[in-house]
Amino acid sequence: MKSNGRVLLLVGSARRPRSTSESLGTYLLEGLRKRGFETETLIIPKIFGSDEARNALLAATDRSDILLLAFPLYVDSPPALVIKGMELINRHRHAGQELKSQRLLVIVNCGFPEAQHNNTAIAICRRFSQEAGLDWAGGLSLGGGAAISGRPLVKMGGMVRNVIRSLDLASDALAEGNPIPREAVDLMSKPLIPSWVYMLLGALGWKRQAKRFGTRKKLSDRPY
Ligand SMILES: Cc1cc2nc3c(=O)[nH]c(=O)nc-3n(C[C@H](O)[C@H](O)[C@H](O)COP(=O)(O)O)c2cc1C
């Protein structure tokens, strides 16, 4: 099959072995592979360990036509290492003679159930895209990312049906050279489960963890 181009997935989560960012990005990458793209994945937190890894990131960026950036929300922002990665790519792109035409799609997931917590992070990425001379293909925003917790989407059944539909629409649009459609954005931002169920499960998980660490009675402490 003739290649449609190269796609680089950059995963911005420090969570190992698997993160929700990786689950979302990998599903989209697989969709693009089926649509004739060559694909590659790099984990951003591993990149800042050495100069070799940093150079590998820049080389992988240079040979790509589409960059997919998938990361978790940390304190209403992209994680620090993702910002560092964006700064590195921006400097590198402006150091060259001419800017290669490349597209950027961003997927952000957060812990709170409402997807709109990701709006500022998506705006930051859009600004990065302008500064670095990348074509903005769009931003997908998911709330309640802990409900996926790094599991492969194909094994998760009906709970992720809107996520899968959104990523399929995004694959189609990218393969046709279009920005991602509004419908994909809207589907991704739909709650995975009702907010009250998510909060209930979150509270139970929190109490279970506290019990494991022997701090069950300290959950309401206010040390400061
Ligand atoms: C340091 C840190 C800061 C976080 N800040 C936020 C936040 O501001 N808002 C939010 O909704 N979730 C926040 N979260 C939760 C993560 O965004 C959430 O757990 C996400 O699903 C993790 O995705 P990942 O598996 O791709 O790492 C934070 C998590 C960490 C570790």
Query: Which atom of ligand 1 has the smallest separation from the CA of 110?
Result: 17
Query: Ligand 1 centre and the CA of 89: distance in Å?
Result: 24
- The residue count of the chain comes to 224
- Give the pLDDT confidence of 98-122 residue by residue, as tens digits: 788 999 999 999 999 999 999 999 9
Tell me how far the alpha carbon of residue 133 lies from the centroid of ligand 1, in angstroms: 28
Tokens representing residue 65 in the block:
């036509």
Q: Work out which ligand 1 atom sits closest to the CA atom of 77.
A: 8
Q: Are 83 and 22 spatial neighbours (Cβ–Cβ below 8 Å)?
A: no
pTM of the predicted model, to two decimals?
0.93
Q: What gap in Å lies between CA 177 and CA 186, rounded to an integer? A: 20
pLDDT tens, position by position, for the chain (224 residues)?
678 899 999 999 999 888 999 999 999 999 999 999 999 999 999 888 788 988 999 999 999 999 999 999 999 999 999 999 999 999 999 987 778 899 999 999 999 999 999 999 999 999 999 999 999 999 999 999 999 999 999 999 999 999 999 999 999 999 999 999 999 999 999 999 898 998 899 899 999 999 999 999 999 999 88
Cβ neighbours of 7 (radius 10 Å): 25
